[in-house]
Amino acid sequence: MSEHENCHVEPVEKAFEETALNGAMAAYFNVSGMGCPRCATRVQNGLLTQEGVVLADVFLEQAAAAVAYDPKQVSPEQLLEAVSGAGNDGKHHYAAELMVVKPINEALELSGDQRTWS
């Protein structure tokens, strides 16, 4: 049986307020160890539960994550730890590598319910 079979995870729901993006930064990560959509959800949950994370999107096919965060509350190093900690069940092992950090206004475009990372 694959490590990805029969693993269930509920997505974390975090309320989004656009004003929380004021002063936010964006961090992009390469993420390894994800083998299925539930893995991506587990990594996203790990990021979203960090204090100071405003938004987090995980892209399974690209093995990547994009995170909008308040640099006064959380650091990129703590986000790396959150990715690793998302696999804390002994069966899943995730790791992340920080690729780039930039101001949120250079990274994220919001249009209604849609968001586009650049």
d(CA 104, CA 101): 9
19-62: pLDDT as tens digits: 999 999 999 999 999 999 999 999 999 999 999 999 999 999 99
- Output the DSSP codes for 32-86: ES--SHHHHHHHHHHHHTSTTEEEEEEETTTTEEEEEE-TTT--HHHHHHHHHHT
Give the right CATH number for 18-107 from 1.10.10.60, 3.40.50.1700, 3.40.920.10, 3.30.70.100.
3.30.70.100
pLDDT digits (tens, 9 = 90+) for 76-100: 999 999 999 998 777 889 999 999 9
Indicate the domain borders of the chain: 18-107
Give which of 86, 89, 101 is closest to 44, Cα–Cα. 86
